[in-house]
Chain A
Amino acid sequence: MLLLITFAVSLLYIITTALYGADFFRRNEIASTYKQPALIVTIVAHATFIGMLTAPSGYQLGYSSYTIMSMVALTLAVIYMFIEFSTKTDKTGFFVLSFSTGAEILSSLLFSLAPDQGESFSGLGIGIHLFSATFSFSSIAIAGLYSILYLLLFSEIKNNRFGMLFENLPNLEVLEQLIKHAVAFGFLFLTLTILAGVIGSAHSGEQINLLDPKLIALVIIWLLYGASLFIKKLFGWDTKHMAYLLIGLFVFITLLILLMSLFSPTFHNISFSGSVI
């Protein structure tokens, strides 16, 4: 039953993304009318599915790869919806939701291969760790995706190619603001992820392994993200160069998560209930 629902949720993501695509590329009136309701339905259906999935463990999320990927898809969709409502800019949905859809399809495939969602974690610290990790990756994805759009629009204007992107995308300044906000939120959530992880591990009496590749990668990303907040002022970087850095980070982290999802059934190994290695 759950397997069927997870693929149904993926299908909803595909439909919503297709509607946003039809509106962006073809200016289809039906797509324009129904894309926003479709997004809301998808988010509600997805949240309900996560509720059904975690109900047996008292609504606590597990560290299985498919749960994390599914949460990434959901948070991306929610963050995008927030951006759409707050900035009244509905022309970037196709790009963000495409990524969301990819994550959800991957989650559904992983679920079909190994439906066990692994052990769940209790405790506020671990809960914050998990949620902030998901939100930080979503913020990194948003920053990376909007950076790509920024560079594409920049290049269109510079080279007098006044095509579809020029016509439909928000202006460079708006894209820059969205990138800045995504970076700020990303840094905040990354900081929370590290702090909550450390506190959670310390609370459970577990020794933190400083050579854990995941921890090292996380700290490097955190440092780079932190630096990117001040890089403009410190080194005089412009948004164009910032965009290259953010795209690089986004690609690196996405590949890292993708590899971990494909080669490890969970993001963390569990030594005993409630502790994380």
Chain B
Amino acid sequence: MNIISVGVNHKTAPIEIRERISLSEVQAKEFLSDIISSGIAQEAMVLSTCNRTELYVVPGMPEVTGHYLKEYLISYKDAEKDVRPEHFYNRFYCNTARHLFEVSSAIDSLVLGEGQILGQVKDAYRIAVEVQSAGILLTRLCHTAFSVAKKVKTRTRIMEGAVSVSYAAVELAQKIFSNLSMKKILLVGAGETGELAAKHMFQKNARNIVITNRTQSKAEALAEELGTNQVLPFESFRDHLHDFDIIITAVSTKDYVLKHPEMQQSMQKRRLKPVIILDLGLPRNVDPEISGLQNMFLKDIDDLKHIIDKNLEMRRSELPKVQSIIDEELVGFGQWINTLKVRPTIVDLQSKFLEIKEKELERYRHKVSEEELQRMERLSDRILKKILHHPIKMLKSPVDTADTIPSRVNLVRNIFDLEEQNQLNNNQ
């Protein structure tokens, strides 16, 4: 039994190609239904995000190879003109499992350790379950992948630290102030960058966010969206600077919005209580001389990039730990796959003994009372369970190589005189 994965991702194909080949949830459901009903796949799953589209397939026919699946997907998307098989990668068996484990752990992502991918893998599995294209193999593969991702999240620091400018701004503010809910925040500019920073602050319990913007209606709209409903007129916000512990600026302007004299005055009014100014504008919105003021932390985009670089470096240093978790789980998964090969023999063994039990009990059915027969049945069940325990345990026990499985299976089949098994050979 093989598992094949084929796909395109941010490493193998540019965005135009990824767009052409991506599948929405509805399309993925249709695609999975088609591939199962046509017998191409016994099991199948589609993982389609902005950075990747991947198929995980347990082939239903011998001719279904990686190349076959690439061509099938390209033709399904009617993308022969733009997409070529060279844009794809394909993996088989344990490498497929390793790949999905790496994807779920976010070490194959564009931004190392990003937190969204696990949810996307879970969605892909949910869709496969909904269209009944996830069988025993994909179910086990996905559940192991979720377990790997959980272990990676708890045992390593691969997902720690901010890796975007707006998150880095929040991380920095939290290194100065202990409780953002107690701090007063001024957002100068209601554009996309400012909005993102304000939302991240809000996620960290900051509630006292006041917004000012040249176009007041934009500020009001953002304040309403955040639920703070606090807006200051752009013309007069400088009169209130001393009230704020955190000031975020993100406006397009050639001139500085905050200058040295007004901030100096504000610091005096604050009796030197620390202030952090996060200048997210480009060109910069705040006079750099302000950083010389006592207890003033002025940080621009370049400063915040230092935090991002440090966090990415830290995440990269965690990669060996992640790989070790994946290796560990891969061994377990491989051993489970091997148990699939012995499963028919276990079933045959159990059936044979049950048959013997039934035959023997049948001989006594009319010679003893119903109560006695039930007692004999319970006794036989206990004896069978004990007799079968060791052979089943031996069959299921881990093996170093797949080569030893047939010898084990043959041994058990010969000893217990089980009928010739064709399935074993078919499955390998």
Contact = CB atoms under 8 A, between A and B. Distances in A.
A162 B177 contact: no
Interface in B288-334: 291, 294-295, 297, 299, 303, 306-307, 310, 314
B32 to A, nearest CB: 41
Contact of A172 (B176, B291, B294, B310): B176
A58 interface: no
A63 B361 CA distance: 89
Counting contact residues on chain A (CB < 8 A from B), the size range is 10 to 19
B131 interface: no
Contacts of B299: 160
A26 B196 CA distance: 34
Interface string A87-105: 0000000000000000000
Contact of A240 (B174, B176, B178, B295): B295
B271 interface: yes
Nearest to B174: A171
Counting contact residues on chain B (CB < 8 A from A), the size range is 20 to 34
B175 interface: yes
A171 B297 contact: no
Interface in B114-145: none
Residue from B175, B274, B307, B314 whose CB has the most chain A CB atoms within 10 Å: B175
Given A157-B297, A171-B178, A162 B272 contact: no
Contacts of A238: 272, 294-295
B201 to A, nearest CB: 15
A174 interface: yes
A172 B274 contact: yes
A146 B303 CA distance: 26
Contacts of B294: 238, 240
B172 interface: yes
Residue from A157, A177, A240 whose CB has the most chain B CB atoms within 10 Å: A157
A171 B272 contact: no
B295 A174 contact: no
Nearest to B178: A173
A170 B179 CA distance: 12
A236 interface: yes
Contacts of A157: 172, 175-176, 297
Interface string A146-184: 000000010001101011001100111110010000000
Contacts of A171: 174-178
Nearest to B317: A27
A167 B178 CA distance: 14
A162 B306 contact: yes
Nearest to A172: B176
Contacts of B179: 173
Interface string B234-253: 00000000000000000000
Contacts of B174: 171
B293 to A, nearest CB: 11
Nearest to A161: B306
Contacts of A166: 175
Residue from A27, A153, A172, A240 whose CB has the most chain B CB atoms within 10 Å: A172
Contacts of A153: 175
Contacts of B306: 160, 162
Contacts of B172: 157
B175 A236 contact: no
Interface string B163-181: 0000000001011111100
A153 B179 CA distance: 18
B295 A162 contact: no
B28 to A, nearest CB: 40
A172 B179 CA distance: 11
Contacts of A158: 291, 297
Interface in A106-163: 153, 157-158, 160, 162-163
Contacts of A167: 310, 314
Residue from A153, A160, A166, A170 whose CB has the most chain B CB atoms within 10 Å: A160
Given A171-B174, A172-B177, 4 more contacts: A172-B175, A173-B176, A236-B272, A238-B295
14 contacts: A27-B157, A157-B172, A157-B176, A157-B297, A158-B297, A162-B307, A163-B310, A170-B178, A171-B174, A171-B177, A173-B176, A236-B271, A236-B272, A238-B294
Interface of A: 27, 153, 157-158, 160, 162-163, 166-167, 170-174, 177, 236, 238, 240
Q: Which 3 pairs between the two chains have the least Cβ-Cβ distance?
A: A173-B178, A238-B272, A162-B310
